[in-house]
Amino acid sequence: MNETITLEETLEAFSAYLNEKGRKHSMIQRYAYDIKDFYRWLEVNEILFHIKLWSDLSEEDYQDYFSELENKPQNMGGFKEVAHVFRDS
């Protein structure tokens, strides 16, 4: 069985990182929401099973997700910041 990234581990690690950087609790909660949404998208699109690290995602994976977000009536600015962190890890 292919071990994949877990949502809980990701949220815990990213929240700890943001806490260390002195980010506000409200910002951390917003980023957690964005991560959960992206995680669900990866599951639905059957991408999550094929990756072990966030860096395994391609630029195309992110662009596909951003394209879907553009069709939703919400601000995707927060997620772009989160995606930048994942690409660099």
Give the tens place of pLDDT for each residue, 6-55.
889 989 999 999 999 999 999 999 999 989 999 999 999 999 888 888 88
- pLDDT band for position 1 (cuts 50, 70, 90): very low
Residue 58: name the closest of 50, 71, 69, 22 by CA. Answer: 50
pLDDT over 80 at 85, yes or no: no
Proportion of the chain in helix, strand, coil states, percent, rounded to 5:
70, 0, 30
**What is the C-alpha to C-alpha distance for residues 51 and 47, in angstroms, rounded to an integer?**
7
DSSP type of residue 14: H
pLDDT over 70 at 76, yes or no: no
More confident residue, 11 or 70: 11
- Chain position carrying tokens 């069709």: 71
* Domain with residues 7-88, CATH architecture: Orthogonal Bundle (1.10)
What is the pTM assigned to this prediction?
A: 0.71
Which amino acid, one-letter code, is at 50?
A: H
| pLDDT reported for residue 88 | 57
Contacts of 48 by beta carbon, 8 Å cutoff, 6+ apart = 4, 5, 39, 42
